[in-house]
Structure 1
């Protein structure tokens, strides 16, 4: 049986999927209704639910479990595919990950959530940093509807047009900055580790 917080997570992502569809909200077709009294009632309800979820993440000793469920719901398929592709393609980094597992966990037990934080090679390899920097899994940002005609260079984006920003190009440009990520085309999880083998706090990757 799901705990209440996980039910809220699923509701949030269902709403997210629905809202990603252009024209999902009536206000997109009739912008002036946003000024009507009571228009924000449903939005305020959503905000309360998400605030309760944030509080739940810090209560009852369950933050790690809920975090993993939350992240898994959001990016499980794309990130897992990206991770496996790298695993086949880049064996030296994989060997270091295996060495860390053998040293910290050993061969007599399975990893648990208590081990999270003591496996920096795996954190740098699989989770957010190097996987998403080297090959971002997201492509387009939220759909936006043009409220007026928008001149842009030699074209005009007409009122009512649906516009998608190219998130992938932006991330690729940021992640290929050699001043921040030396030898940027190389898959190198160790760029995220400091001299003591811990995750660096001074290097972040935008989401």
Structure 2
């Protein structure tokens, strides 16, 4: 039986199509999250009920604030991104490293733009303010950093890094809520925003299985 030499090419093409579809799904999820949680009474009520306000547990709030200080420290983030560039250069995945840095920058910029554009209407929910914090910049940054690291890792090593990366993102997201910096919708929106950009970053390097 003659091996189909076009099989790897087809697999790569299918993989890139899947990444584009995943990016579109994340963007759709971002739109739906904003529409439901910000634009409906039920969504705003759920957001408010899940928000852990300060004063309930001072120690927990202090720990959450300390974690956020580290996660949002420009020097820490710069060091991680420098490590991504170095790993990409040493591992022959410089395109992935550059894509990861661009992904991080776009995630931060995208979160800031959305905060300025999106409005949170007053729907009469008790305790809920009209202050918009959608999506969370801290969570977008944490998600983008994890994806940037995955971009420069060999495909077989990505799952080993993805699990602790997801735990780290969940910890940062939970901390923003415990410290009352962000609502659940802000956390979900940030993950979906960075996730969409991450899919595009993987697509731009040739797909998740690409050596680049």
Instruction: Give the TM-score band, short-chain normalised.
Output: under 0.3
Larger radius of gyration: 1
**Higher relative contact order (Cα pairs below 8 Å, separated by 6+ residues):** 2
State the TM-score, normalizing by the size of structure 1.
Answer: 0.24
